[in-house]
Amino acid sequence: MNREENIKQISDQSKIWDIAVIGGGSSGLGVALDAISRGLTVVLLEKADFAKGTSSRSTKLVHGGVRYLAQGDVGLVLEALKERGKLLKNAPHLTENQPFIIPVYSWMERVTYSAGLKLYDWMAGSLSLGSSTFINKEETLRRLPSVKSAGLKGGIVYHDGQFDDARLALAIAKTADDAGACILNYASVKDLIKDEHGKLIGLKVRDELNGEKYSLRAKMIVNATGVFADKILQMDQPGSEKMIQPSQGIHLVMDRKFLGGNDALMIPKTRDGRVLFAVPWHDKLVVGTTDTLREKPKLEPTPLQKEIDFILETAASYMKEAPTRKDVLSVFAGLRPLARPKEGGTKTKEISRSHKVIISDSKLVTLTGGKWTTFRKMGEDTVDHYPEVSGELVTPSQSLDMKLYGYTMEIPEGHWSVYGSEAKAIQDLAKKNPELAEKINPNYPYLMAEVVWAIQNEMAVRVEDILARRIRLLFLDAHAAIDSCQKVAELMAKELKKDQEWITAEVEDFKKLAEKYLIKV
Ligand SMILES: Cc1cc2nc3c(=O)[nH]c(=O)nc-3n(C[C@H](O)[C@H](O)[C@H](O)COP(=O)(O)OP(=O)(O)OC[C@H]3O[C@@H](n4cnc5c(N)ncnc54)[C@H](O)[C@@H]3O)c2cc1C
């Protein structure tokens, strides 16, 4: 992906794009991927970095949603199970089949959860990731050595997918870009352009890196801005009713020893009736999540103390060694773009998690809700509206079996897996240049070659892009990320031809950001 070349493409005033997508999270990227699979021309504009918003802050599950099944949302689960199965096939380097164990403390729990999970297995059909089974107490403690044993009757093992969300976003962006889409980060949509009949015909864009302004023309404009959707809707129709209800979920990242083993833990019912996951991820443990209504959408939402306490307390009631605040290596918060119900109602669990495509009078197409797992189907459902909006025909979607960038069946070892078929090229960079063979941080496997690779091939332009989303150090260990930012900034400055002033500003900005991922002890 080359940012300069893509900027040149949007400067071409004679061009009329088939689809312009606002937002570079999972929803927008799903639309771009599906549009390109049908041979449409597409431009995607992201105001920050790809997956800077909610799409880098998920629980990292490619799942059908066991809990939606408990709520009776069969259609949603069926759709998600199909997408789960396909995604694991199309991006084996970025996804994994992850066994989960539900510890059971009563025979009633065993019967209920076993029946529900058998149904879940059956619904996945030929795309099943493995059958659920009951395991006895000894086997449960062997596989989850840190789980409390008092009163334990056994465990139920089931399978779901697990992934690196920000890396998957990049792989989708690269797949679409490679197939001819124009994908841009740090390109913010500032206004919409309408014709004399009030129909949308274009966008006003600002390059956030240098302030340059551009106007684009497009036949269909998609608002895929997650929790920010209302801002674009306001540009379309000032004073229109709010559609989005942000709901915050936080995760704590800690050492894997708090769970032990390779299985994930799933608690189907916490004291507030929610689900709690503890999932091994990049050699750490991600524990979450919460569901707290927030009024304002934010790119960097802040975790609330009560959310941190809730997760620690709930984890403590299942783990032999209770994690404390000082064990938290990083905390991250994300906002669910839930559809706001028409008639009040403040319980977020009751607000629909399915996606919606809404078309305004001016033909602005807004995609809201949904989840990461179903990003492709959300894209397909959105692009299906192209004929209605543009008046032109479109071929059926071809994205279901599209292999994503880096696809390989020979998955590289260790942290290299996320690069898939590209890992060798990065390792070669390190072999050729000893400076690039150095580690970014002595306690983690990432090499300086990955910084150069991310700048040259993955549109990374800021220190944060590298440390938060190209490699996930900020999410895994915020202190380690802070310790590494000077070194990363210096190498970036060399590559991007920036001066000392840039290095100082980047390091300062990154440290300020990373502070938010630390917990005060
Ligand atoms: C705590 C939590 C856990 C979750 N866990 C899972 C999970 O395990 N599995 C799963 O399948 N789903 C999960 N989800 C759901 C999933 O993460 C979201 O549904 C998904 O990431 C939403 O993506 P999005 O693209 O709609 O929004 P975002 O990722 O927020 O993307 C919107 C983008 O639009 C950009 N933007 C905004 N305004 C403009 C503008 N004017 N111009 C240009 N760009 C703009 C923003 O910068 C942002 O990057 C979870 C959600 C949360 C909150």
Q: Are 61 and 409 in contact (CB under 8 A)?
A: no
173 phi and psi, to 5 degrees?
-60, -45
Atom of ligand 1 nearest to the CA of 370: 19
Three-class SS state of 499 = coil
pLDDT value of residue 287? 98
Please name the residues in contact with 367: beta carbons below 8 A apart, sequence gap of 6 or more: 27, 28, 31, 222, 223, 224, 355, 356, 357, 378, 381, 382
* Short-list 487, 483, 484, CA closest to 503: 487
Contact by Cβ (8 Å): 172, 399? no
Per-residue pLDDT reduced to its tens digit, 106-156 = 999 999 999 999 999 999 999 999 999 999 999 999 999 999 999 999 999
Interval between CA 14 and ligand 1 midpoint (Å): 32
At 374 the pLDDT is 97
Is 466 strand, coil or helix?
helix
Pocket test for ligand 1, best of 22, 29, 54, 302 (most atoms within 8 A of CB): 54
Q: CA–CA separation, 275 vs 264, rounded Å? A: 13
Q: pLDDT tens for residues 204-216?
A: 999 999 999 999 9
**Residues of the chain below pLDDT 70:** 342-353
Interatomic CA distance for residues 175 and 405, integer angstroms: 5
Rounded Cα gap, residues 267 and 454, in angstroms = 37
What pLDDT does 68 receive?
Answer: 84
What pLDDT does 351 receive?
54
Q: Which residue has the tokens 């833990």?
A: 265
Residues with CB under 6 A from ligand 1: 22-28, 45-48, 52-55, 57-61, 63, 188-189, 224-228, 249, 289, 299, 334-337, 370-373
| Model pLDDT, residue 338 | 83
In one-letter notation, the amino acid at residue 149 is: S
DSSP state at residue 58: S
Mapped onto helix, strand or coil, the DSSP state of residue 286 is strand
**Ligand 1 centre distance from Cα of residue 299 (Å):** 10
Distance 410 CA to ligand 1 centre (A): 30
Alpha-carbon distance of 10 to 263, in angstroms, equals 47
* 244 C-alpha to ligand 1 centroid (Å): 12
Q: Given this model, what pLDDT does residue 345 score?
A: 52
The region that residue 211 occupies, defined by phi over 0 for left and psi between -120 and 50 for alpha, beta otherwise, is left
In the reported structure, the alpha carbon of residue 394 is separated from the centroid of ligand 1 by a whole-number distance in angstroms of 27
Measured torsion, CA atoms of residues 63, 382, 235, 242, in degrees rounded to the nearest 10 = -50
